[in-house]
Chain A
Amino acid sequence: MQIIENATVYDAIIVGSGAGGGMATKVLSEAGLRVAVVEAGPFFDPALPEHQTQLKWPYESPRRGASTRFRPFGDFDAAYGGWDIEGEPYTQKDGTQFDWFRSRMLGGRTNHWGRISLRFGPNDFKHKDIDGYGDNWPISYDDVKPYYDKVDKLIGVFGTNEGLPNDPDGFFLPPPKPRLHELFYIKGARKSNVPVYPSRMSMLTKKINNDRGVCFYCGQCNRACQVYADFSAGTCLIFPAQKNGGQVDLFVNCMVREVTTDAEGKATGVSYINKEDRKEYKLKGRVVVLGASACSTARILLNSKSKQHPNGLGNSSDVVGKYLHDSTGADRAAFIPDLMNRKVSYNEDGVGGMHVYSPWWGDNSKLDFPRGYHIEVWGGMGMPNYGFGFNVNEFNKFFGTKVGGYGDVLRGEAKKYYGATMGISSRGESIALKENYCEIDPTTVDEFGIPVLRFHYKWSDLERNQAKHAHDTFEEIIHNMGGIPLGDKPGKDRDYGLHVPGRIIHEVGTTRMGDDPKTSVTNKFQQLHDVDNVFVVDAGVFTSQADKNCTWTILALSMRASEYIVDQLKQQNI
């Protein structure tokens, strides 16, 4: 089969349209560069009525919003994809497990993410200095701070300046007031000496420019916002870049196979499979910017083998794919008797997700795990959805009355318990280990003939100890809220409730940055040590994750790397 070449030579080819690729698209195109954005999934714009799931009622889904293989977070979730995609397998090694979530669409996972937008703090870039684990980043908070500032102002994030040492202040929009169950959380957490602050999330509680609407509090950010009042890469970066006159060619449904190189080993562009006609194409570019997501970018690099790069592109260190790490996660639900018999006189949807949270408060030098976690809170009188009314009166057991039954009594019990359940989740930092990795599985290809990834990932006791601490904390807070923890506290046999790696969908580290080309894949400007015209702008470059979510840092770093690319092109260094 002949590979079809496009005659255009782009200044930059950007692979992936999520947070990293979207930011690169905006910065590079607004600097006057001609860019191609190559996205493996379809075009998506939540302002188009035919793409909208926002403000739909549960009965508009025949399964009432239940999850499917295509949308594990429910039938109305905006992120098409999941842990299991037809025709695009991945494999596991040595009996270990890593669950890989992909969303193939314009904007990728930013279309449904939780919008929890936390800066990394000074310690997060230099954690090895503090506890000896992992490695320091080659950059510090001061290097990234100006970009966090710019991202705050460009995209919009609500929160509050609290002067916390490792949860830096920023340029925040004002936060929404807490909901009822969140007031209970504040009370319970404080009693447990866990501080609580307004959450920091990228919804517009206030106007930020004339192109985007203001939040109208439907609580459905995971369905993508039709007035662009929350951050997703399409609505906030790529569409504005196009609107601002940028030369942006979108190639959707195009699955990148590899980065192509010339006789000197420099990148010449990418080859991709067009999913619509299943043929292979080539694009030419002066610079290739990979923002396909940590694992997809590693896969593309490892599949880009040539005489000059026999171990895969940028992989002379053999570090591509290594140091894969996800956030840790654990959750506990609770029944709060004081939240029974609620008045349904008001709309409690709020923003999509929590209005309050607890950043990590502990002192790890006195604990048996080196890194912290933050606490997220959920609950409230949400829209009835699939699962509503299941085991409707099981809480009767706490009052010694009969569980089950039929008839109008069930109606009364559904109302009595509506909004009386809430939950607490921890999202924490794991240690990046070389032994946790993805690599090419030589025995398996996807439906496009591209070799797939094989994962090897194990938690260590450091993460298990952290999860144990989190569950102990959950119980204490729940008791201090006057609540009853639901289910059993998971013990050692269940890894203390620690979710399987990949389940928190914060995977980072596969193309980590560093000063030493022998132990890292990119330099501190996210440029491959081995090939100066290839950059990585997704979370692959993270030397270490923090007890924060990764998106705000992906955005800040992609902006920084993109400005560097513009500068290097101007100086004709690449």
Chain B
Amino acid sequence: MASQTKAEILADHESNSALQAPLPAPVARHVKDLGADGLLSPLDERIIAAASEALEAGQTHYVDVPGIAALRAAIADALNGATNSRYEAGNIIVSAGVQESRFLTIQMIGENYESIGIPAVTHPGVQKALGVRGRNVISLPAAAERGYLPPIDAIAEIVAGGCRLLYLESPSRLSGAAYTSEEVGAIAEVLRDAGAAAIWDGGLAPWVDGGCSALASTEESPTLITTIGEAFPGTGLASWFIGYIASPEDQIPAMQSQKQIMAICTSTAAQFAALEASSLFEEARRLKLSQLAQLRSQIAESAAARGLAVIAGDAQNIMALRVSEEAAAKLRGAGFDFADGASFGAPDIIRLNVNSAALEALRALD
């Protein structure tokens, strides 16, 4: 006899479209896959050596829930160096990737607020995290003209209306557009005046040429800012799933407790690899950024030559393009995969990783 209980569970599941939002792959699944979240990067021999040495020395056991102390300190240092923030090791939780960071922050910080303001266009992982346990979401308008970053007046309006928690991406996970330092300052002022909080996904910030302003680094930064992202991206750790949460100390215990409930700790090998990556990151990032910037410029030219609209973006590792359904089908037909803007909330947009295969993909449209 069919189970009515199971039927009810499955009916709930079917009706939960947020939970079923498709996630991009962590790294490219094949040479024509241009839709992954992470960069395909070589893994430095020193990272392999450090992780191997740790495993051989018996680092195969549980470690502290928020992460090994040295890595927490290294992440804090890297954030402080890049954004002029003032994090210490105690402000950091090492997560099992940026999706876990999204989930923990949205769910656990979100518990303290009646509603959360979220851009209409965001990484699908945000919708997915919300799909697990619904929150009262207030949608922030986000248009292509500003790279899908919600305008400051829209942010001010929902804060004035009583929303006290925002989730913002800068750079945008779809377009790569980043708020300017003036805009970040204006957001900070709105939040500070209202005593509001924000979760700030700065995961793509390392790929902005010339740096990227962060909410936690403004001169008069509000105190309730939590920053999330991937730990040391571009060092070959994308499939190791390692990320961070940087948060005021009083917000750490609830997320740490939930991390314990969900996973106890993050993979020990990944943590020791990331620790070594921390010392190689800045040099590798600069080199990679310069390569990406050059390639992105070529891809933009190629797209323009084919009459495709490039959505303005600052992060050099991705490019968002407006394409017709016919063009999207043509790309798929030629074996290319891309991140579908529909899953971010922008149906007529595709996101490509910046690499040589993207040039090949555009040629396939001819």
Mutual binders A and B: no
